[in-house]
Amino acid sequence: MALVSDHILSLVTFLPLAGALVILLCLARRPTAAGWLACGVALADLGLAVLLWLGYDPVPGTDQFVERAAWFLGGRVQYHLACDGISLVLVLLTALLGPLVILSTKSSLSQRVPLFMAMALFLQTAMIGTFLARDMLLFYVFWELMLIPMYFLIGIWGGPRRIYAAVKFFIFTMAGSVFMLVAILYCWFKAGTMDLGAWLALDLTPTEQLWLFAAFALAFAIKVPIWPLHTWLPDAHVEAPTAGSVILAGVLLKMGTYGLLRYAMPLFPAAAVTAAPVLAVLGVIGIVFGALVAWVQTDVKKLVAYSSVSHLGFVVLGLFSLTAQGATGGVFQMLAHGLSTGGLFLLVGILYERRHTRELADFGGLAHGMPAYASVFLITTLASIGLPGLCGFVGEFLILLGTFGSSQLPHAKLLVAVAATGVILGAIYMLWMYQKVFLGPLGSKKNQGLPDLALREWFVLVPLVVFMVWLGVGPNLVLAKVGPSVERVLEPLTAPGLVLPHGDPRPAPLWAVPAVLGGGGEVAP
């Protein structure tokens, strides 16, 4: 057992990769066996993630289960994994979606199943590794490795324009990361090590910070995606197979917001404070823009894709409210969005398997024939909208609350007001979509006699629904684990005496300023 407890992070990271290799080497011609093995491996990985959850001590919010070993360049580049509250919930989300995704593809996938399973597992390793890495080069390696399996998932098993979508996805993300790599090299040159802890202690001038922050933020903003860098997302989502969309929306998009919170903000605090208004505004634009564009979509999958732009706008706003409350809400929203949007893509996939269309106009009255499906869809829709009692509400509420009380963000209240319209718009387009698909009379003959949820589909959807309700009713379960870590991560930004690029040392701890001032930019000394 000591082996498991000492190396649990390595195990949870590399178990899927081992499964992928076994599939490629031994089961390349046996699709059924490959599917079951992949499922088993993903479940075992989920088990490890649960162990991690149980063993994590939330109170200090520090990095735990640390694993460190020299990698190369005389130990200046390390193999360094660690887990704090933020990483914990995201790893758990990844590990939860893994088996569901694999289970969900069993019927829809006909060709090259073993390769698909191997890619899904490989992707899981890369994603979990990205969340756990505490060495910048290790992080970058995992970060880039995510591209390869996702590129294959879209490009091989995707829709008619899959190649265009896959290449666009690859190039967009790569373009961002390349500048991050230059920034990483620069910091490496300054620090002489790739260790995140040492980087946090780096003394960078405000100008340096601005450039480095810009390079990091660009890479992450493309991944989120923050408006106006979102154009790859609808293409990728629409062309990706269901499994690809679920992973993309469920986990991959969180890489961007996770990276902002973990790296871009604490490493370059002065620049983050300076840039916060800009990014918060971009977040709000994303919220409203995503919602408006989602509203006019005629393709269900595209609608859900644009709703992601809107939901992640909330996360960005929460992070750049520069309050612990807003950022904690942001992390919660990442989790909630992973569950609800992941669920929506799964549901859309189920419908597409039955009808081979996703056009809103082709549907209507499905609730008559598929009551169970319609109910699950309704719960997921409501969770996505943010109905109180379901997971989506908590995150959005905390974000808005945190932003409202933010003393550093100019015009915070205005931003909250505009962002709140996003909540209303969200309700409009989602319910409108629900109405078109499920309510009214059964329109076309083709919609009659569609089978309701099968047993396997129940297995996939029930865990998601359970968590959507559970997190909505008892959010403290997650908030207690995330909160302390978020505060720790944001410490550099709230430190008194932070020198901003325009030169003024910050006068007093920010929370001392009455929130009523709100205007933020000009705080009284």
The contact set with other proteins (CB under 8 A) reads: 28, 70-73, 112, 115, 137, 140-145, 147-148, 151-152, 155-156, 162-163, 166-167, 170-171, 174-175, 178-179, 181-182, 185-186, 188-189
Q: How far is the CB of 72 from other proteins (least distance, A)?
A: 4
Which residue stretches of 31-112 are H helix? 31-55, 85-104
Q: What percentage of the chain's residues is helix, strand, coil (to nearest 5)?
A: 75, 5, 20
Closer of 77 and 271 to other proteins (Cβ): 77
Cβ 350 vs Cβ 423: under 8 Å: no
Q: Closest separation between CB of residue 481 and other proteins, Å?
A: 30
Distance CA 269, CA 499 (A): 9
Return the CA Rg of the chain: 22
- 3-class state of residue 297 by DSSP: coil
The whole-angstrom separation of Cα 493 and Cα 273 is: 7
Closest contact distance (angstroms) between CB of 239 and other proteins is 11
For residues 168 and 302, which CB has a smaller minimum distance to other proteins in the complex? Answer: 168
Amino acid sitting at position 417: A
Measure the CA–CA gap between 130 and 380, rounded to whole angstroms: 28
CB nearer to other proteins: pick between 145 and 281? 145
Closest among 106, 140, 111 to 126, alpha carbons compared: 140
Min dist. Cβ of residue 180 to other proteins (A): 10
Question: Could you give phi then psi for residue 335, rounded to 5 degrees?
Answer: -65, -50
Choose between 26 and 178: whose C-beta lies nearer to other proteins: 178
Nearer to other proteins, 28 or 454 (CB): 28
| In the complex, least distance from residue 112 CB atom to other proteins, rounded to whole angstroms | 8
Residue nearer to other proteins on the CB measure, 125 or 310: 125
Q: Which residue's CB is nearer to other proteins, number 152 or number 404?
A: 152
166/391 with CB nearer other proteins: 166
* Shortest distance, position 165 Cβ to other proteins, whole Å: 11
Q: How far is the CB of 151 from other proteins (least distance, A)?
A: 8
> DSSP states of 101-140 as a string?
HHHHTTTT--S-HHHHHHHHHHHHHHHHHHHHB-BHHHHH
Q: Which of 92, 340, 131, 120 is nearest to 244 (CA)?
A: 120
Q: For residues 470 and 389, what is the distance between their CA atoms, to the nearest angstrom?
A: 9
C-alpha 358 chain-centroid distance: 24
Q: What secondary structure does DSSP assign to 236-256, as a single string?
A: HHHHS-HHHHHHIIIIIHHHH
Beta strands in 404-447 (DSSP E): none
Cross-strand bridge partners of residue 211? none
Residue 375's alpha-carbon distances to 367, 370, 379, 380, in angstroms, are 8, 9, 6, 9
Give the nearer residue to other proteins in terms of CB position, either 263 or 289.
263
3-state secondary structure of 161: coil
Between strands 64-72 and 77-83, the pairing is antiparallel
- Closest to other proteins by CB, 185 or 512: 185
- In whole angstroms, how close is the CB of 75 to other proteins at the nearest point? 9
Q: 258-276: string of b/e by CB count within 10 Å (b at 16+)? A: bbbbbbbbbbbbbbbbbbb
Residue among 182 and 466 whose Cβ is closer to other proteins: 182
Shortest reach from residue 142's CB to other proteins, in Å: 8
Of 129 and 329, nearer to other proteins (C-beta) is 129
The two structure tokens encoding residue 382: 């409501």
We find the least distance from the C-beta atom of residue 373 to other proteins, in angstroms, to be 32
Q: How far is the CB of 400 from other proteins (least distance, A)?
A: 38
Q: How far is the CB of 147 from other proteins (least distance, A)?
A: 7
